[in-house]
Structure 1
Amino acid sequence: MSTIDGLPAHILLVHLVVVFVPLTALALIVCALSPAAARRAGLALPLLALVTLAAVPLTTDAGEWLERHVDRTDLVRRHTELGDGLLPWAAGLFLLSVLVWWAARRAAGGGRPFSAALRIGAGVLCAAVAVGAVVDVYLIGDSGAKAAWQDALTGSGTEGGEGH
């Protein structure tokens, strides 16, 4: 995908990633820490994570198209390198979401509950992957903003100085 209604698709699709990765990360942590929340979320948790996972390569592919149509600066290269690292985080969110959903379903069906140590370990792993994914999205977004806007603002468009 290259453009949507004349705009580079990447600048539109990136909003899916910016919203869905933190939302999925938060939902994963809540459901990992609260079996009741995981039961209530049901299949919505892994489906949300699947949408998140699908949004990442779509956005990355659109970004690669855009990269070929802009000046290749160090900032653009940095953004591209960071963007290439998000897919494993999104895959981790998806896999852990499926595991949390499966564990909640198993417990609701009368299966033997997991040990406290296993639940704590799973919660720590979910939190680590969730935080890693959100931090990565932040770093990617920050580098993309710098690549797009560095040297673009001259200050001549503000009347009366900053804050006016």
Structure 2
Amino acid sequence: MSLNVVNGLPAHVLIVHFVVVLVPLSALAVVVGAMWPGAARRMGMVLPLLALVTLASVPLATQAGEWLEKHVDSNALVRRHTELGDGMLPWAVGLFVLATLIWWTNRGPASAGAAHGERTRRASSRSALVVRILAAVLAVGVASGAVVEVYRIGDSGAKAAWHDGFSKTTTSHKGDEGDNG
């Protein structure tokens, strides 16, 4: 099944809004979950589900965009947007993997491991701290990369869609003058 046109509009211009909203939202949730285990526990399954919906929206937008590319005049701006768009999927996969790992490692109660001896607990808490720091660094890196990539793709898409598509000066339309007097 191919979703190419919705209510007379190319589906890409509609679906892309899911990506534009969900990628930064997922990125923020992943970073917060990685840095604040309590928040990760409160988010629970919502964290990986949000990232999964984000991940699913990327190929939908890409597929709809590939259809649209065949139905518009090709130029350097359209080709650049298409090239950049193809690079979003790895970032969405990274967000999903991190969201799932953060959820998985924080799904139990905060006092897990209390039955261990003191030495084991100290070693465990040190290794947990190292893992949390690594997860936070990875989360910030992947989240930043994903958000920057969404911005770059969106900017190139806007340039491709709107170059020479509007007047830089105000145009007068019949009825715009109004009755001010």
TM > 0.5 fold call: yes
Q: CA deviation at 1:25?
A: 0.2
Amino acid at match of 1:73: N
The aligned residue for residue 48 of structure 1 is 50
* 1:131-162 per-position Cα deviation (integer Å, ceiling 9, x unaligned): 00000000000000000001111235446xxx
Identity between Structure 1 and Structure 2 (%): 62
Which residues of 2 match residues 76-155 of structure 1 at below 5 A?
A: 76-106=78-108, 108=110, 110-111=112-113, 114-155=127-168
Q: Partners of 2:108 and 2:44 in 1: how far apart?
A: 11
- List 4+ stretches of structure 1 deviating above 3 A: 106-109, 111-114, 156-159
Q: Partners of 2:168 and 2:49 in 1: how far apart?
A: 45
Q: Partners of 1:109 and 1:116 in 2: how far apart?
A: 15
Q: Secondary structure of 1:27's match?
A: helix
Q: Partners of 1:20 and 1:97 in 2: how far apart?
A: 13
* 1:18-44 per-position Cα deviation (integer Å, ceiling 9, x unaligned): 000000000000010000000000000
In our comparison, the structure showing a higher alpha carbon Rg is 2
Instruction: Report which stretch shifted further, 128-137 or 145-154.
Output: 145-154
The aligned residue for residue 119 of structure 2 is none
Q: Secondary structure of 1:115's match?
A: helix
Q: Partners of 2:111 and 2:16 in 1: how far apart?
A: 39
Amino acid at match of 2:65: G
RMSD: 1.5
TM-score computed with the length of structure 2 as normaliser = 0.84
